[in-house]
Amino acid sequence: MKTIYADLHIHIGRTHTGKPVKITGAKTLTLHRILEEASEGKGIELLGIIDCHSPEVIEEIERGIEEGRYRELKEGGIRYRNTTLLLGSELEIYDHTCLGPIHVLVFMPALAEMKMFSEWLAKRLTNIHLSSQRIYETGLNLQKKTKELGGLFIPAHMFTPHKSLYGKGVRSSLREVFDPALIDAAELGLSCDTDMASRLTELDPYTFLTNSDAHSLGKIGREYNEMLLKEANFTEFSLALKGKDGRKITANYGLNPKLGKYYRTACDRCGSPVEKGASACPECGGKTMTKGVSERLEELSGSEKSRVPRPPYIHQIPLQFIPGVGPKTLEKLKRAFGTEMAILHRAKEEDLARVVQPKIAAVIHKARTGQLALEAGGGGTYGRIKP
């Protein structure tokens, strides 16, 4: 067994011919650039790209295999240098059972299954070439198709106010829209951590995942999972989600929820925090507001406390977010230690201080151990590190 770092929610911005996939994603987010960055820059060995249903993305993977740049693993996944790509798709459900749209992640074991899934989706999406499209099918039927093809089904960023399971998708329970037995894991999202999500006992059966939802190369690995696997592939990942045969999630690394865009309730007009029950913003008088994840969880959680033991959730600030760590400093650190995972997990503070100024090394140490003071975010605006 070995420790593997995994980020399982990465978007493709453009295909190799320049066609958009995730319209809001950076143009530099091409398949090959993502794999290069994950392997050589980030040190992420298991990578979920969730736009692999797009036909041109499938063609690019097949060409890479034919040319010898990639290879398909018999245990599932596509290998590029030090990284295994898991073939994923993000979809939006809004059927008659939902109160609002819900995003989910589906992972397929191999290209053959992803191609069949893409063909099935093409009859149910307005545009099969784009990311995060609404599927004109019930959530339950999507679950059944996923299982028919040997795939994994995971609700995405479950508590985000917009387009998520608990944000607006259901009144109180996932059973309103899904078969609980056909869910393989639960993705927390940037404004939630394990302690918060554990207040919902109906989530007790599921492994928690924390992922970046990266829309640019720099955001890859801003949240990720530490896993104990024999190798980085689909089969081993599936076992880890079930905690079988020694495979497991050993830690989740992510932003303090206060740094997320939706931790607190905030005014839609000016972004100022709004207290629970307020009918108007105290700053600008605005009447509409976005309910924060912290308040939504208060509504959902009952008196019963979860007793399920879970891996630690470690609050960690990505290197790019840290004051004083600009592109040149980051490159200097990478030359010395290799990848961002090596800087975050293996480099000691005294080793960092030999490469960068001691005060920057001290800030990096505080950032990766959750010791920096924060100001909570809300209403679509990220929280910030206090000076």
Q: DSSP string of 353-364? A: HTTS-HHHHHHH
How far CA 149 is from CA of 144, 253, 309, in Å, comes to 9, 30, 31
pLDDT in tens, the chain (387 residues): 999 999 999 999 999 999 999 999 999 999 999 999 999 999 999 999 999 999 999 999 999 999 999 999 999 999 999 999 999 999 999 999 999 999 999 999 999 999 999 999 999 999 999 999 999 999 999 999 999 999 999 999 999 998 999 999 999 999 999 999 999 999 998 889 999 999 999 999 999 999 999 999 999 999 999 999 999 999 999 999 999 999 999 999 998 888 778 888 888 888 888 888 788 998 898 888 888 898 898 889 876 778 899 999 999 888 888 888 889 999 999 999 999 999 999 999 999 999 999 999 998 988 888 787 777 767 677 777 765
Put residue 379 in one of left, alpha, beta given phi > 0 → left and psi -120 to 50 → alpha: left
pLDDT at position 213, please? Answer: 96
Please count the CA atoms within 13 angstroms of the CA of 360 that sit on its side-chain side: 20
Contacts of 139 (CB under 8 A, 6+ apart): 93, 95, 97, 98, 102, 104, 177, 178
Give me the residue label for tokens 């387009």: 163
User: The domain 2-254: what is its CATH number?
Assistant: 3.20.20.140
Strand partners, 385: 374
Whole-angstrom distance between the N-terminal and C-terminal Cα of the chain?
Answer: 41
Rounded to 5 degrees, what are φ and ψ at 119? -65, -40
Nearest to 339 by CA among 55, 39, 14: 39
- The pair of three-digit structure tokens given for residue 144, joined into one six-digit string: 């059944």
User: The domain 318-368: what is its CATH number?
Assistant: 1.10.150
Alpha carbons 173 and 184: distance in angstroms, whole number:
16
Give me the residue label for tokens 């970046």: 212
pLDDT at position 127, please? Answer: 97
Alpha carbons 231 and 41: distance in angstroms, whole number:
20
Number of neighbouring beta carbons within 10 Å of residue 139:
26
Q: In terms of DSSP bridges, do strands 46-49 and 83-93 run parallel, antiparallel, or are they unpaired?
A: parallel
pLDDT at position 173, please? Answer: 96
Q: What residue type is assigned to position 20 of the chain?
A: P
Contacts of 181 (CB under 8 A, 6+ apart): none
Contacts of 10 (CB under 8 A, 6+ apart): 29, 34, 38, 47, 48, 49, 50, 212, 214, 220
Nearest to 93 by CA among 175, 151, 156, 147: 156
Domain ranges of the chain: 2-254, 318-368
pLDDT at position 374, please? Answer: 72
Query: Hey, do 2-254 and 318-368 end up sharing a CATH topology, with the first three levels equal?
Result: no
How far CA 135 is from CA of 47, 105, 157, in Å, comes to 24, 12, 18
Tens digits of residue pLDDT in 46-71? 999 999 999 999 999 999 999 999 99
Rounded to 5 degrees, what are φ and ψ at 181? -70, -15
Alpha carbons 38 and 70: distance in angstroms, whole number:
14
Residue 231 carries which DSSP code?
S
Alpha carbons 261 and 148: distance in angstroms, whole number:
36
Put residue 368 in one of left, alpha, beta given phi > 0 → left and psi -120 to 50 → alpha: alpha
